[in-house]
Amino acid sequence: MKLSIDNGILLARFGVFESATMIKEAGFDCVDMTYYTVGLNSPLLNDGYRDYAVKLREHLDSLGLECNQAHAPFIFTYGDKFTLEDIHYRAIVRSLESAFILGAEFIVVHSVGHKEENKILFDREYNINYYRSLIPYCEKFGIRVAVENLFECDGNGGFVGRLGSPDELSDFIKELDSSCFCACVDTGHASLTGQKPENFIEDLDTDMLKVLHVHDGDYKGDRHTLPYLLDFDWESIMSALKKTGYGGELTFEILNYFMHIPAPLIADALRLAEKTGRYLIYIFENA
């Protein structure tokens, strides 16, 4: 099993090229390319995005660092049109092509929720049509879209799932009815919608699980921090992955772990994260 890490906060603090170098020097095998920490004017998404992605791919190759997966921007909102004339939709499509150039096999694209009169709603038909509209781009670029288990804050200190249970996520992907789609399990999100992460993994259709967002949590908030700093049972989580026959990478999404660490200590923080990931892989391989 290879070890990967999202570059979200590192990208924002150090730039995409330097952060990739830091990730490789810490010992990671792969990077999860995040497009959600940059704006529309970023070279990752503006009109020069193709040339920029080619240069970034050359940098990754020179480091020996793979891009195993990516994360599309959060910018698309309910009511946006499924056309390249829509700047938000265009950013999603550009992230698919950019991630393909970088070598990613999968890219996470969030479903879209909305509120009316303070009610949290999920328009299933709109979301089905949204994802299906991406099929031609998936086929063109040779990349698969991963649908993630998500949550909404209910305004009263609680959380409401958005495709937040194994059955809901599986049923939604089955309805999409295309090999262009698979599932991403976020361990922290599972804990906020009534599931232990290990149970969510075990109860999901195993053929769908191709992508992970691995981070620790306390069942109270979306913490995105390093495993073993909070409350999850990592031995059980890794054993659950082994039982499912999971064959992908272990990918950390621990952006909050780096949030307040001073720049001179980031390299040490990355090395601790890498050692923690290798320990989890050891548990997986020996489960």
The pLDDT, as a whole number, for residue 156 is: 87
- The 10s digit of each residue's pLDDT in 191-201 is 999 999 999 99
Predicted local distance difference test score (pLDDT) of residue 274:
99
- Is residue 21 scored above 90 in pLDDT? yes
Q: Taking 90 as the threshold, does the pLDDT of residue 239 lie above it?
A: yes
pLDDT of 206 higher than 90 = no
Q: Which residue segment(s) compose the domain that 86 sits in?
A: 3-159+173-180+241-261
**pLDDT for residue 157 is more than 90:** no
In a domain, 220, yes or no: no
Mean pLDDT, residues 105-128: 96
With 90 as the cut, is the pLDDT of residue 117 above it?
no
pLDDT in tens, 60-70: 999 999 999 99
Q: Looking at the domain assignment, is residue 144 inside a domain? A: yes
- Tell me 117's DSSP state: T
Summarize the confidence of residues 212-231 as an average pLDDT.
Answer: 98
Q: Which residue shows structure tokens 């906060």?
A: 9
Phi, psi of 139 (to 5 degrees): -70, -40
* % of the chain at pLDDT higher than 70: 100
Q: What's the CATH number where 109 sits?
A: 3.20.20.150
- Whether residue 211 is contained in a domain is answered as no
Residue 276 within any structural domain of the chain = no
Of the candidates 160, 250, 165, 254, the one whose C-alpha atom is nearest the C-alpha of residue 216 is: 254
Which pLDDT belongs to residue 246?
97
* C-alpha distances out from residue 219 to 80, 98, 215, 222, Å: 33, 34, 12, 8
Q: At what angle do helices 234-244 and 266-286 cross, to 10 degrees?
A: 50
Mean pLDDT of 208-216: 98
Does residue 124 lie within any of the structural domains?
A: yes
Report the alpha-carbon distance of residue 45 to residue 229 in Å, rounded. 34
Domain tally, the chain: 1
